[in-house]
Structure 1
Amino acid sequence: MARHSYGRARASRAQLTKAWKAIFWGLIFFGITSYAIITSSGSILQWLAQKGNEDDEDDGQVGAGNRTWADLQERRVERLRRGCETLGLEQTMSKIVMKHLLVDLTHNVLFCYVPKVASTSWKRLWFLMVRAAKRDEIMSLPRAYVHGPTLSTLGNDKFSDDARETMLGTFKKILFTRNPLERVVSAYRDKLETEDVESSYDFHKHIGREVERMARGKVTSGGHDVTFKEFVEFLVTPMNGTTWTEGQRNEHWRPTVDLCAPCLIQYDAIGRYENLEKEGREALEWMGAGKYADDFPPPASNAHTSRQTALDYLRRLPVTHRLNFYKTFLLDYLLFGYQIP
């Protein structure tokens, strides 16, 4: 009887498909990667467990469970602080970070804008806040102009190092985040899956072709039929195993942690794209710019990507691609309280 059971077990194991083997080794890979991160600090396990119980995907919309904007900010800022401290993350004030910090000298605010997180809407609003221009004039500006060099950022040459230090130390500092998967899917749909006629940058020519060369060994369609699988492989695979191209680190899909340096800059408030209408108004009131709340322009319709749509795209990916995606955006998930799907 024992031999018969043993024989059935062997037969069952022999029937494992290649797909299940890929899943098995993918999980092993993810486990090793996670272990390497986790063991970087003795208290990370406790921190992750606590965060997992406290908050995930909607860590709270304003008003949910009687939460106020102040309650949410205390919770989010503390999670970020503890995460950076526990992981021992050290960041530097790079040019890319200073470029993404919008400066408002009227309301004494620094705002880290993140592409695909309503950045066009925020920049249009910034024109109103810092220039007191007419709303109709601002709303009619071409998107290429809105994203041009007109608005002042912390990296502007007119600011001295001392002035930058003063602003970083005394101004209110805020950023808005977005679910990493939804942000990347939105970028893919907007820049590569369809034609972005408003952008001054040809993503198909510059990025699509680069993706095709990496995935196919040559350009086959001028960058116009890049699949989501090829795009994700492009995002998560450094050239020669060590270096990244400018296209791979494009601001539209570069992790928010890289663009805003939240473990270096002590942000006072962290809003969420997922609850933009409510939290955008709350953020403006907090900045002292509440009179502009009704002027906040809605994001472009093609910029919206629902959670379900993002998950549909995720299902197109092999397990190894999913795991590499999680690895690449892991800090965005952990520090900003988003749940890995």
Structure 2
Amino acid sequence: MYCSVPKAACSSWKTLFFELRGINVTNSVHSRAKKELTFLHQLSINRRWEVLRSFTKFMITRNPFLRILSAYRNKIQPNGTYEQLNANWKPYQWRERVGRPIIEKYYGNDVAMDMMTNKDKYNVTFSDFVRFLVDFPDLRASKDVHWMDINSLCYPCDVNYDVIVKFESMATEMQLVFEKAGLEANLPEVSKHTTNSSSIAQAVEYYKTLPHDVVTKTVQPLLL
């Protein structure tokens, strides 16, 4: 049993689950996963308890500073990796879903309308994004799973996970998961959805634009 944490190799692991079934996924792995993989909430109550007692259970954590930066660079940053990878299919949906509320809050509706209409003017900085999460935690855009705290996604205080893996040392620690589950499989390659935000030096360049109190408020709910 795997608890999926967005921006912590979830695309790679869902792809691996299909590969273990002999299925090569060429389209959106997340869409197929919703339709074809079995989720705990779909099971009867008795079956859920059986799974929780007897299955090998694991989750993957990630440095919260790097995880939120990865989410920004993938979904929110102008010409980010999501827009590049989906250039022919709804490339700007995250601008409307999250970028627009951020711009409206800090720069007003007129500026937001202008940025949505004129794509070249769109600009939500990392500072804007993080301040928004801190200032408006109850808004729908702030509660997206891509930056939701891991505790609210996987309930590690309630579920007795056999292994809690660190994203940063996944290659080594996942071998323990395979051993416990009796699986013979190769670790998945890093997904093409992954942004190159694991560099501490690179993260420093982004985070140094934020006031210290904003950094502190940002990371507190993201810590496991």
Q: Offset at 1:254? A: 0.4
Tell me the distance in 2 between the aligned counterparts of 1:314 and 1:225: 17
Q: Which has the higher contact order (CA 8 A, sep 6+)?
A: 2
- Structure 1 match to 2:209: 316
SS at structure 1 position matched to 2:185: helix
Rate the CA distance shift 1:260–1:281 in 2: closer, same or farther, 3 A: same
Tell me the distance in 1 between the aligned counterparts of 2:204 and 2:12: 25
1:1-341 equivalences under 5 Å are: 110-129=1-20, 132-134=21-23, 137-138=24-25, 140-143=26-29, 145-146=31-32, 148-156=34-42, 159-193=43-77, 194=80, 196-197=82-83, 198=85, 202-218=93-109, 219=112, 220-222=114-116, 224-238=122-136, 244-289=138-183, 291-293=184-186, 296-300=188-192, 302-305=194-197, 306-329=199-222, 331-332=223-224
Tell me the distance in 2 between the aligned counterparts of 1:175 and 1:282: 12
SS at structure 2 position matched to 1:271: strand
The one-letter amino acid of 2:65's match is L
| Identical positions, percent | 27
SS at structure 1 position matched to 2:218: helix
Tell me the distance in 1 between the aligned counterparts of 2:13 and 2:5: 10
Retained in 1: the 8 A contact 2:60–2:166? yes
Retained in 2: the 8 A contact 1:236–1:328? no
Rate the CA distance shift 1:173–1:302 in 2: closer, same or farther, 3 A: closer
Q: TM-score, normalised by structure 2?
A: 0.84
Q: Offset at 1:277? A: 2.2
SS at structure 1 position matched to 2:60: strand
The one-letter amino acid of 2:82's match is D
Q: Offset at 1:212? A: 1.0
Tell me the distance in 1 between the aligned counterparts of 2:129 and 2:33: 24
Q: Offset at 1:182? A: 0.2
- Provide the aligned length of Structure 1 versus Structure 2: 209
Q: Offset at 1:192? A: 1.1
Retained in 2: the 8 A contact 1:284–1:293? no
Q: TM-score, normalised by structure 1?
A: 0.57
The one-letter amino acid of 2:31's match is Y
Q: CA RMSD in A?
A: 2.2
Rate the CA distance shift 1:150–1:259 in 2: closer, same or farther, 3 A: same
The one-letter amino acid of 2:132's match is F
Tell me the distance in 1 between the aligned counterparts of 2:147 and 2:177: 24
SS at structure 2 position matched to 1:298: coil
Tell me the distance in 2 between the aligned counterparts of 1:175 and 1:307: 23
Residue deviations 1:228-263 (CA, integer Å, cap 9, x gap): 111001112236xxxx12211101000111100111
Unmatched 5+ residue regions in structure 2?
none
